[in-house]
Each structure stands twice: as structure tokens, then as C-alpha cells.
Amino acid sequence: MQRASRALLAGLLAATLSAPVLADPAAELAERLSVRGESMPVESVTATPLEGFFEVRLDNGETFYSDSSGRFFLVGDLYENADQGLVNLTEQARNAERAERLAMIPEAERVIFRGAESRAVVSVFTDTTCPYCVRLHEEVPALNERGIEVHYLAFPRGGMGAQGARELQQVWCDANPSEAMSRVKGGEPLEGPADCDNPVEAQYHLGMELGVQGTPAIVLPDGRLVPGYVPAERLVTMLGLDD
């Protein structure tokens, strides 16, 4: 009886070890995706609730959907018709990615304004030559009083050859970047260098990858992107802090 049991267990183990490993459809699709014989710069492939279709994210931040064969593509947002209404699953994924990538930026590479209390953090892609950025900056003290930290990231809207790029580099090169940011947004020219090791260009490209098209661009803690100027009181409400 014991011999038979051992033989049965040995047979099951051998069958398990010899069984074919199930393929990973997402990984296979990532290797298969190509256009005219040239491989796509795929960053990730993930399954979706839509059976047989996968979300494909490219290195440049673009997203589309593909069937498992890589023959048919869908470009646009994927929605779920849920009990609470239409839910934009594509935007949810974008938000999660924004939050994750911004969390990787160390505080030393941000220009931070915070008050005595911290209840929330908003990241703001900004430009020194943007009038609405100046207007938002004027409300930073009010935001700080309500417990909202403002973390500035650089986004020279005219590109790296523009005046804003140089001024942002001067801000980041200053011994006190927050004071330099306030001075330049108050209309005071900066005299300091712009050629130190700074993150301005890297943040500019990151902003484009995350969907920033202009300034100011406010990213909420959950990764939602809010383009343009938002009054302090409205931002407080959006963050659920108006109690």
C-alpha cells in the first residue's frame, strides 16, 4: 500500500514537472508588437477587463489597446459602464502612473512651499514667464495656511531655448530656490548662474510624458492632472479639505 502511494506521488510529481509552462499573453504580445517589421518601443503591456484586449504603453507615454495577436489596435479611452456611471479606466491608469512617477522625484529636486501643517501635497509644473503661474503663486500662502504643500516642478512652456528655461535653471541653481522662485515671479530679475547641475530639462520632458501641455499644470495627490490656474478655495474643495 505504501509502495503504491509512493509510486502515485512520484507519478504526479513527474507529471507536474513535465507539464508545459503556461505562456504569459501580455509578455508574448510585448515581444510580438511591430509595425512594418520594426519592433515598437513597448514599456508595458497589461490585461484589461475587455477580454482578449491589452493596454499597451509605449516608452514615449502613448497608450493604445491591442488584441492578443497584435494585429488590431484601438486608440482612445476605455470606459466601464459601472453602477456609478461611466468610469474612464484609461484615465485611472494615467493618474496612477503620474502619481507613481512624481513620487520618485526627491524633494531636493523640487521647489517646495509648505506651512506649519501638511494635509495634502500638490505638484505644479510651472514656468516663470506664465502670467497664470504668477497668479497661482500669489495664492500659495493661502494654500499653505490650509495645510496644502505646493511642490514646483519645471516646465518651460517655450522649450529649453526659451527665457523661462534659463530663469527656471537660475531658480534651481540658487542657494535658496524658494526665495528665487518668489523673486522672479514677483518681477525681479535673477542674477545667479543657470549652468549648475539641475533637473529643469528632465522635468520638462517628464511633464510632456505625463500629458502636461501648458502651465500651470496641477497634479493632485491621486495623479489627476488639472490644467490651468485654479483659485485656492476651489483647489481646497477639490482636495476635500474644506471642512
* 232 and 143 fall within a common domain: yes
Instruction: Tell me if 243 is assigned to some domain.
Output: no
Domain count of the chain? Answer: 2
Q: Return the bridge partners of 112, or none.
A: 151
Instruction: Tell me if 66 is assigned to some domain.
Output: yes
100 grid coordinates: 507613481
Burial class (CB in 10 A: 0-12, 13-18, 19+), 180: buried
81 grid coordinates: 459602464
pLDDT in the model for residue 23: 67
CATH number for 164: 3.40.30.10
- List, for residues 159-182, the tens digit of each pLDDT value: 999 999 999 999 999 999 999 999
* 110 and 196 fall within a common domain: yes
Domain boundary among 44, 60, 88: 88
* 25 and 79 fall within a common domain: yes
206 pLDDT above the threshold of 50: yes
Instruction: Tell me if 147 is assigned to some domain.
Output: yes
16 pLDDT above the threshold of 50: no
* 84 and 121 fall within a common domain: no
Domain boundary among 57, 88, 119: 88
> For residue 34, which amino acid is it?
S
Report residue 237: phi and psi, to 5°: -65, -45
Residue numbers of the domain that contains 55: 2-88
User: Which H or E run contains 205?
Assistant: helix 200-209
* 50 and 119 fall within a common domain: no
- List, for residues 66-96, the tens digit of each pLDDT value: 988 888 898 888 888 888 888 888 888 889 9
CA angle 234, 136, 93 (to 5 degrees): 65
Instruction: Tell me if 174 is assigned to some domain.
Output: yes
* 82 and 113 fall within a common domain: no
